Amino acid sequence: MKIMPLEQRGISTSRIILGCMPFGGGWNKEPITQDHIKEAEKAVDAALSIGVTMFDHADIYTMGKAEETFGRILKNRPDLREQIVIQSKCGIRLKDDISPERFDFSKEHILKTVEGSLKRLGVDYLDVLLLHRPDPLMEPEEVAEALGKLKASGKVRYFGVSNMSVAQIKFLQQAMPDQIAVNQIEMSLARLDWVDQSVYVNQKAGVSTNFSEGLMEYSQMEKIQLQAWGPLAQGKFSGKSLENEPERFRNTANLVGEMAKDKETTVESIVLGWLMKHPARIQPVIGTVNEERIKACDDAERQSQLMTREEWYKLYHSARENQAK
């Protein structure tokens, strides 16, 4: 069986990632409570119970509280660190009294951010560090210098990006000795530009996209792990009210429900299984603290293996009904 690009690089990890963005309460400066910690720990345990061993963070998630909450869990359970893969991101600077929200891939900011993440998480190293969305002012050589220092010091093992095009990845890669290992982008049954990959088709269909044409093929050739954020499409096909959504989403939700019933599985496993069937071996990042929703994803990998080509295309055509063919 084909293995994931991260596994090919020697990182033993799960097919599904738990996104930790909701950890720690709201996006504010209110203190972390014991309830927040208990909620996050239950989510972590639910993830571990279905074989999830990779956890996704970013320095900005709930303004740093997500990493700090996870760090408190690790402090109480120190043996857990070596059983899991921790990924975090840097590069987004939130709006403050001085400046608007912006990106910062400067050497100083990257190094400072990683130190902050390590401190909040209470760990000595990150398994993976991603540059969080593209920075228009990026200087590849400066980025490479910062990442090289992190690698040499043992503070980060592997590096990646998020939401970058083929050209942006190549532009950065030419300055880096280490190969980019990950690209995290939005992919789901509701967001199909990653499948269509045609700027012409998407413009004709009226679909706004920044998805780079050829990214799927390039990623597979270069062994870049594609990670999907928003893979459950905010519940559009797994229980969310679709009163104000397009008819194609309502039809697809019904189809997903029928397939789940026929296969005696969950709607979440069908939706994720559809995504995971792609030969790029996509890793979905499920961002929730709901234990039951996490556990409902348990059967996703098996469903990806059982799903026929006909079923895959049936869901695909249902989700893009009435768009340009």
SS3 of residue 51 by DSSP: coil
Does residue 324 fall inside a structural domain? no
209: which 2 tokens? 């996209």
SS3 of residue 82 by DSSP: helix
Calpha distance 266→137 (Å, rounded) = 44
Number of structural domains in the chain: 1
| pLDDT number for residue 211 | 72
Per-residue confidence in pLDDT tens, the chain, 325 aa = 689 999 999 999 999 999 999 999 999 999 999 999 999 999 999 999 999 999 999 999 999 999 999 999 999 999 999 999 999 999 999 998 889 999 999 999 999 999 999 999 999 999 999 999 999 999 999 999 999 999 999 999 999 999 999 999 999 999 999 999 999 999 999 998 888 764 334 444 444 445 778 999 999 999 999 999 999 999 999 999 999 899 999 999 999 999 999 999 999 999 999 999 999 999 999 999 999 999 999 999 999 999 999 999 999 999 987 554 4
Q: Where do we find the tokens 């690009």?
A: 5
Does residue 204 fall inside a structural domain? yes
| pLDDT number for residue 207 | 42
| pLDDT number for residue 197 | 60
| Phi/psi of residue 100, nearest 5 degrees | -75, 175
Does residue 9 fall inside a structural domain? yes
| pLDDT number for residue 210 | 53
Q: How far is CA 322 from the centre of its chain?
A: 29
Which of 168, 279, 281 is closest to 225 using CA atoms?
281
Does residue 29 fall inside a structural domain? yes
Does residue 262 fall inside a structural domain? no
Global pTM value = 0.94
| pLDDT number for residue 193 | 85
Does residue 248 fall inside a structural domain? no
Residue among 61, 125, 218, 313 flagged as catalytic: 61
| pLDDT number for residue 249 | 95
| pLDDT number for residue 217 | 94
Which residue blocks in the chain are alpha helix, DSSP H? 5-8, 34-49, 65-76, 107-121, 140-152, 166-173, 193-196, 199-204, 215-221, 247-263, 267-276, 291-295, 300-306, 309-319
Does residue 106 fall inside a structural domain? yes
| pLDDT number for residue 205 | 43
67-81 tens-digit pLDDT: 999 999 999 999 999
The answer to whether 215 and 194 have CB atoms below 8 angstroms apart is: yes
| pLDDT number for residue 196 | 74
12: which 2 tokens? 């033993």
Does residue 180 fall inside a structural domain? yes
CATH code of the domain in which 170 resides? 3.20.20.100
Is the Cα dihedral 221, 20, 143, 154 positive or negative? negative
Instruction: Check if 316 is active-site.
Output: no
Calpha distance 271→249 (Å, rounded) = 12
Residue 280 contacts by C-beta under 8 Å, 6 or more apart in sequence?
216, 219, 220, 226
Domain containing residue 28:
5-233+279-289
